Chains A and B, each alone.
Chain A
């Protein structure tokens, strides 16, 4: 599997570590317990297109939002996480 880093170009996936799903949103400090349980533990765990946070640890060390098909391993889109956050 090759991930095209927006800063470094196509790289093997051994240069990256994976945090997991990109979509869970951290609740506010006053959110009820259920919101925190959902954020920390519960995952949609999709088969198919899945947005994930990858860290280019052995490269530019940027955080990336990688959209990837979890059934075929096809990489659909890669964006810098900062850019994805500012223009979702």
Chain B
């Protein structure tokens, strides 16, 4: 069913009894042209762009839980393309451009809101680093504005600009950045892929990858063996475990990142603000809850829940920046498990196994990448070679030395 004002009216007038499921629940076929392991945002987007851009519709997406249960529903919904390194700048800008046309493309309201993302700076050195990043963005054709303290004050009233330790000197603003309703991204891509013939197989966990004579021939699942000509892995958080089934060892550690939602309040902040003197970012959802998060916990974890010291640190950052938030109660908190990559940048590439492709290493910035990740991964799978936009996201860059270390933190996964 195509969603439109007319479908809304028709269903409203008929008591909402005529709505059909957003996607089918098919039985797995014995063989597919292409299997995507992981029904998160990236896997679903990959399946969608395989069908749309490359006409490959004999595709199944294998998801061990239900659609929306993983990281696509566990992030803080922020989109932006304010990166320094050229490979990242161009890739994330492609993503932002796809976000801008996504709702019409997939016929689904993802509540994309380009409300602006402000990275605050608190020292002269930080201002210089942000100015450099902003200039790099503008050279790549991406919008960026360097704001002084008055510029920030005008955009974000109510913030403590004059903290004794970390006064706000200004910020780097990307006006085209913003937020997206993350569940709608999962549902919208799932529905759009399904409408083009992709099978979405929920509660189908991959337990093995079958490789014969150096070529992938299919995957073992909890619902039996499914054959395939090509397999794409997009199982962030569990990439290492899935890749190990094909004998690969990745430059990735799995870590937990927590996120928080406060009780709903009247509009108080209409942009996305990131604190530059700690690790904290906040926006306000349309329901009124403040959506915020901080740094990863720092230790390897598959638990999808974190520990209290990080909760305390995030709250300290929140109150340092917005003293009024000390009166709020937080409503919900959760954790997601991240592919923390050794250089902080993703991998979208072929693997040494013929027909097996890899999409992983998103650290905790994968949500904003969802459309471009799917778009580039679909291109890589369909043509057998990376697109120019993901040509630098190679698996072998850790051996060649061509790493993409945006932060300059070195080969230490928990520092990215």
**Which chain B residues numbered 364 to 416 have a C-beta less than 8 Å away from chain A?**
398-399, 411-414
Chain A contact surface mostly: mixed
Interface bracket on B: 20 to 34
Nearest-neighbor residue (CB-CB) of A66 within chain B: B299
Q: CB of B249 within 8 A of chain A?
A: yes
Contact, CB under 8 Å: B299 / A72: no
Q: How many Å lie between the Cα of A19 and that of B414 in the bound state? A: 8
Nearest CB of A to B325, in Å:
22
| Other-chain contact of A44, B249, B303, B312, B413 (Cβ < 8 Å) | B249
Q: Which of B238, B253, B312, B413 has the most CB of A within 10 A?
A: B253
Contact, CB under 8 Å: B251 / A18: no
**Which chain A residues numbered 44 to 61 have a C-beta less than 8 Å away from chain B?**
44-47, 50, 52
Q: CB of A12 within 8 A of chain B?
A: yes
- The 0/1 profile, CB within 8 Å of B marked 1, for residues 9-20 of chain A is 000111001111
Nearest CB of A to B305, in Å:
8
| Other-chain contact of A41, B251, B302, B312 (Cβ < 8 Å) | B251
Q: CB of B151 within 8 A of chain A?
A: no
Contact, CB under 8 Å: A45 / B250: yes
A45/B252 contact (C-beta < 8 A), A1-B307, A33-B399 known: yes
Q: How many Å lie between the Cα of A20 and that of B250 in the bound state? A: 15
**Which chain B residues numbered 243 to 263 have a C-beta less than 8 Å away from chain A?**
244, 249-254
Q: CB of B309 within 8 A of chain A?
A: yes
Contact, CB under 8 Å: A17 / B240: no
Nearest-neighbor residue (CB-CB) of A34 within chain B: B399
Q: CB of B342 within 8 A of chain A?
A: yes
Q: Which of A14, A20, A38, A41 has the most CB of B within 10 A?
A: A41
Contact, CB under 8 Å: B300 / A45: yes
Q: Which residues of B contact A50 (CB under 8 A)?
A: 300
Using CB atoms and an 8 Å cutoff, list the residues of chain A in contact with chain B.
1, 12-14, 17-21, 33-34, 37-38, 40-47, 50, 52, 68, 70-73
27 residue pairs A–B, Cβ–Cβ below 8 Å: A1-B299, A1-B307, A17-B298, A21-B300, A33-B399, A37-B399, A38-B249, A40-B342, A40-B411, A41-B342, A41-B411, A42-B251, A43-B250, A43-B251, A43-B253, A44-B244, A45-B241, A45-B252, A47-B241, A47-B254, A52-B299, A52-B300, A68-B300, A70-B254, A70-B302, A71-B302, A73-B303
Other than the known A40-B398, A43-B249, A45-B241, what 17 A-B pairs have Cβ atoms closer than 8 Å?
A: A18-B299, A19-B412, A20-B253, A20-B413, A20-B414, A37-B399, A42-B251, A42-B398, A43-B251, A43-B252, A43-B413, A44-B244, A45-B250, A68-B299, A68-B300, A70-B303, A71-B302
